[in-house]
Amino acid sequence: MAQYHPERVSAAASLNTPLCPADPSVTPAERLKAEPRFDYQLYFQKPGAAEAELEKDLERTFKIFFFSSGEAAKRPAVSTAGVCARGGLFVGLPEQIPRSSVLTEADLQYYVSQYRERGFRRPLNWYRNGEANWRWMCSRPTAKLLMPALMVTAGKDQVLLPAFSKGMEDLIPNLSRGHIEECGHWTQMERPAETNSILISWLRETHKKAGGVKVAPKL
């Protein structure tokens, strides 16, 4: 949104996910194959397979998904690499998975209720639309992102490594950074106070540099 419709965005912040510009010479599938930890996205491409696995036991699915970096040593680890070869994302994991401290029972039941009604097909289709998105992005003019932006990285994220954000300053001249070392993939759930502190500090500084918000006079 910020890259292709900058007129609609004043500033942009990202948690863990770096800006990865489209490369016309490399297809999305080739790019995913080059990074083994993204193999789960290749597994998601076959309609029906991932839906069946993720929807089989919704409580188990969300208990597996959500966990903090501090709990990683105490619970079965889900690997996002080698998913296609072993035939599923959860293959080899026990049936009984403890609920993480970052996921309340109320939140768990809310997720379960929503996905019991709607299923996983639509969110999985986002991954399946990767090539169409790539072709569209390759057709757009390329330019640097000139608005204020914030990149927050997490030291214990096993999928979106902080190293993936290297070089973003070349694409975003006005880039600020925040980093939480003892934090995994679900930054806003695992470290809400630190995340809010980074966001609020950056927003205040961005607001200050912009000279404050101009309020239109009452009519």
- pLDDT attached to residue 128: 97
Q: Which of 133, 154, 172 is the last residue of a domain?
A: 133
Residue 123's pLDDT is: 96
122: pLDDT strictly greater than 70? yes
State whether 182 and 121 are in the same domain.
no
Residue-wise pLDDT for 44-99, tens only, equals: 999 999 999 999 999 999 999 999 999 977 888 899 999 999 999 999 999 999 99
In-domain check, residue 1: no
Q: Please give the model's pTM, rounded to 2 decimal places.
A: 0.89
- For residues 42 and 112, membership in a common domain is answered with yes
Last residue of a domain, which of 100, 133, 166?
A: 133
- Worst-scoring range by mean pLDDT, 13-22, 82-91, 193-202, 209-218? 209-218
Q: How many CA atoms lie within 13 A of 194 on its CB side?
A: 16
64 dihedral zone (left: phi>0; alpha: psi -120 to 50; beta): alpha
**Strand partners for 179:** 153
Sequential DSSP letters for 133-178 = HHHHHHTSPP----S-EEEEEETT-SSS-GGGGTTHHHH-TTEEEE
Of the candidates 47, 57, 65, 62, the residue with the CA atom closest to the CA atom of residue 125: 47
Domain boundary among the residues 133, 159, 175 is at 133
Same domain, 42 and 65: yes
- Domain shared by 153 and 127, yes or no: no
Please provide the average confidence, as pLDDT, over all residues in the chain. 93
Output the pLDDT for position 212.
57
As a whole number of angstroms, the distance between CA 150 and CA 187 comes to 14
